[in-house]
């Protein structure tokens, strides 16, 4: 029979809390992922209009801002696509 000390009990409790939180957030995560992948954003102007990539990047930027990122914006990369940048305070 194994014995668990207080540290192991805390860890098990934290793990249970984490699992519960992930289960709680999963429906929204799946919904948002479905929205994002529905945007036809292949970075090849021969296949799709470049505006679709910008629309996908703006969607990501909006979600970053929704969860507390600061200074969220799009930056054009050397290949002409958009990168989403932002910062989030620690703590």
pLDDT tens for 71-88 read: 999 999 998 888 999 998
Is residue 75 included in any domain, yes or no? yes
Give the closest residue to 75 by CA, choosing from 46, 54, 50, 89: 54
Is residue 61 included in any domain, yes or no? yes
Is residue 46 included in any domain, yes or no? yes
Is residue 68 included in any domain, yes or no? yes
* Full residue range of the structural domain in which residue 50 is found: 6-87
pLDDT in tens, 49-71: 888 999 999 999 999 999 999 99
- 2 φ/ψ angles, rounded to the nearest 5 degrees: -95, 150
Distances (CA, A) of 53 to 6, 22, 84, 88: 51, 29, 11, 24
Is residue 1 included in any domain, yes or no? no
- Provide the domain count of the chain: 1
Is residue 78 included in any domain, yes or no? yes
């Amino acid at each position: 029979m194994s014995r668990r000390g207080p540290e192991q009990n805390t860890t098990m409790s934290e793990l249970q809390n984490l699992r519960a939180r992930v289960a709680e957030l999963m429906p929204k995560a799946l919904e948002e992922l479905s929205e994002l992948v529905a945007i036809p954003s292949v970075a090849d102007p021969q296949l799709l209009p470049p505006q679709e990539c910008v629309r996908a990047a703006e969607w990501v930027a909006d979600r970053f801002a929704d969860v507390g990122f600061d200074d969220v914006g799009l930056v054009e990369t050397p290949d002409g696509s958009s990168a989403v940048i932002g910062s989030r305070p620690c703590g």
